[in-house]
Amino acid sequence: MTQPPLPTGKGALELQDLVKNYGAEPVVNHVSASIRPGEFFSLLGPSGSGKTTTLMMIAGFVSPDSGAIRMDGADLTRVPAERRGLGMVFQNYAIFPHLNVFENVAFPLRARRVAETEIRARVKDALGLVQLDRYATRYARQLSGGQQQRVAIARAIVYHPPVVLMDEPLGALDKNLRYDMQMELKDIQQRLGMTVVYVTHDQEEAMNLSDRIAIMNHGRIEQAGEPGTIYETPANAFVARFLGEANLIPGTIETTQSDEALLVTPAGLRLRAPTGDARPGQPASLFIRPEKLSLTATTGNVLAGTVRRRSFLGNIIRLSVEVAADTNLTVDLANTGVEPPAPGATTTVAWPVGDGVYLTQ
């Protein structure tokens, strides 16, 4: 007889110092995180950063070499996957081709010996949430990629798990459908109040969906926090570059005051930003996002430069402006119909002192 899942509460997850090695190589290297009930929490990072292995340890498909996994205070570390009571949406959907939509969604309930009347009610509700009410009798081969993805979500939520794990579930969809599904997925998560742990390498997707993001690299969490906080104040150069376009201007901190510090670059540029943790004599990089820069001289940092490249990206025009030897700044301008300077033109690049951040790691 199938064992019932462990009793679950509201879906609080605690990852404590998780380690997983394959051979001598640490794939997950002392990962810790506290995930709140009802939170949409994303693991974001490049291929090989350890995000999927971390998710598989939460699911119970991979055993950690050390560390602990707790849900609502219960230790799940050595509990078999089928007894954890978690929902799972895989990258390839894992739809059963020999079953129709109704039976695909009903499968987890039948495995738990749920009564037939309750199965029908729950499957109907789940299909309604993902807008597949009219497709209950269709088979996988008769569904589009987006519809198959909805079936996978419905199957994951049909038995009302407190936590749903998702491994790049939108990766196979085209851009427009992917955005639409992001909106639907977030809406379902909020309506059900479920905790979601979501793996992706797509920065825009993570920022669009997540309450908080953990940026992973080489098996470690480099920084975790709300999307806006990480985007505006990255912890280090890796996070700055990975989460969107970034300008990083290296130099040395020359002086500090109570509210701002002066950085001098090898090319002799003198730039100011809020002091933060910067100390005189310390190597640092001034970080500034391309959209914070303008071509209008203002009070703050003002540099003369020459446009070296211009790219049309639809809603923005991206310029590469050389402001010193070996120093090019990326400038993103809103596409308002005003012709920006062409390559070879001289211009001014400026930004307020408060928009920069010193990275000292």
**In angstroms, rounded to a whole number, what is the distance separating the alpha carbons of residues 126 and 148?**
14
Query: Do residues 289 and 359 lie in contact, with contact meaning Cβ atoms separated by under 8 Å?
Result: no
Every domain range in the chain assigned CATH 3.40.50.300 = 13-237
The answer on pLDDT for 16 being more than 50 is yes
Whole-angstrom CA distances from 13 to 171, 295, 311 are 25, 47, 44
**Weakest mean pLDDT among 31-35, 145-149, 218-222:** 145-149
Other beta carbons within 10 angstroms of residue 279's beta carbon come to 13
Which residues 6+ apart lie within 8 Å of 151 measured at CB? Answer: 93, 95, 101, 104, 105, 130, 132, 140, 143
pLDDT digits (tens, 9 = 90+) for 129-170: 888 989 999 998 888 888 888 899 999 999 889 999 999 888
Looking at the predicted structure, is the pLDDT value of residue 5 above 60?
no
Determine phi and psi for 355, rounding to 5 degrees: -85, -10
**Least trusted range by pLDDT, from 170-184, 208-222, 258-272:** 170-184
Where are the domain boundaries for CATH 2.40.50.100 in the chain?
248-359
Rounded to a whole number of angstroms, the distance between the first and last alpha carbons of the chain is 55
Token pair listed for 55: 């998710």
| Number of C-beta neighbours around residue 217 at 10 A | 19
| pLDDT band at residue 9 using 50, 70 and 90 as cut-offs | low
- Residue 346, both tokens: 């001289």
pLDDT tens digit sequence for 64-115 = 999 999 999 999 999 999 899 899 998 877 888 899 999 999 999 998 899 9
**Other CB atoms closer than 10 Å to residue 137's CB: what's the count?**
10
- Phi, psi values for residue 66, rounded to 5°: -160, 170
Task: Please say whether the beta carbons of 57 and 64 come within 8 A.
Answer: yes
Tell me how far apart the alpha carbons of residues 114 and 129 are, in angstroms, rounded to a whole number: 20
Highest mean pLDDT among 93-97, 181-185, 270-274: 270-274
CATH assignment of 248-359, among 2.60.120.580, 3.40.30.10, 2.40.50.100, 1.10.287.470 = 2.40.50.100
DSSP H/E element including 102: helix 101-111
CATH superfamily of the 13-237 domain: P-loop containing nucleotide triphosphate hydrolases (3.40.50.300)
CA atoms of 189 and 191, how far apart (whole Å): 6
